[in-house]
């Protein structure tokens, strides 16, 4: 009985090690968003950034994002005042068709760039990250320098 259990444990260990230890996922081109200045009546702020997500070996990936606001919400802050923002992600290099990231919730089934060399695979963008700030939220805030951080975690499926 112990012999079979030992073989089963070794098989399970081998499966766990080969599926999780060999995956490599990297994001290239990620940088700060500068949303500039806003004046009343200027409308909502939209900004997007094309990035590359490289995946090795072949297979889908997932992404989860966490903000710095209450319950990990996405906010920009100045002097204790929070400005809510929306973050959208598309596994194609365009903002159209992007899905909204919800704080702490995983977006799965995403496709990255596949190639022999993980760095060479990112010779061009493969995904898009967008930020949206509603005019109605902007109009209610005092002037200031609003800043924030979002932690993005990628992993294999």
Give 25-67 pLDDT, tens digit per residue.
Answer: 888 999 999 999 999 999 999 999 999 988 887 778 999 999 9
DSSP code of residue 147? B
pLDDT score, position 101? 98
pTM above 0.75, yes or no: yes
| Range list of β-strands (E), 67-148 | 75-78, 81-84, 86-90, 99-101, 107-110, 127-133
- Kindly report, residue by residue over 70-108, the tens digit of the pLDDT: 999 999 999 999 999 999 999 999 999 999 999 999 999
CA distance 148 to 157: 29
CATH topology of domain 23-156: Immunoglobulin-like (2.60.40)
Positive or negative, the CA dihedral 60, 131, 105, 25 is: positive
Q: How far apart are the first and last CA of the chain?
A: 33
Q: Where are the domains of the chain?
A: 23-156
| 3-class DSSP state of 2 | helix
pLDDT score, position 1? 37
The residue ranking higher by pLDDT, 56 or 2, is 56
CA distance 79 to 145: 9
Q: Tokens for 70? A: 């209450």
- CB of 93 closer than 8 Å to CB of 112: no
Distances (CA, A) of 81 to 25, 54, 78, 142: 35, 37, 5, 9
β-bridge mates for residue 77, sequence order: 82, 147
Distances (CA, A) of 31 to 49, 93, 135, 150: 8, 15, 24, 11
């Amino acid at each position: 009985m112990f012999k079979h259990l030992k073989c089963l444990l070794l098989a399970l260990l081998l499966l766990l090690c080969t599926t999780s230890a060999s995956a490599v996922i990297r994001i290239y081109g990620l940088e700060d968003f500068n949303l500039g200045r806003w004046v009343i009546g200027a409308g909502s702020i939209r900004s997007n950034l094309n990035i590359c997500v490289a995946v090795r070996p072949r297979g889908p990936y997932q992404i989860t994002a966490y903000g710095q606001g209450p319950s990990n919400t996405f906010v920009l802050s100045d002097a204790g005042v929070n400005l809510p923002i929306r973050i959208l992600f598309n596994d194609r290099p365009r903002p159209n068709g992007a899905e909204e990231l919800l704080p702490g919730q995983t977006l799965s089934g995403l496709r990255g760039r596949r190639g022999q060399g993980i760095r060479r695979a990112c010779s061009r963008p493969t995904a898009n990250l967008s930020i949206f700030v509603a005019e109605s939220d902007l109009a209610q805030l005092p002037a200031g320098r609003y800043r924030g951080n979002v932690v993005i975690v990628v992993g294999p499926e």
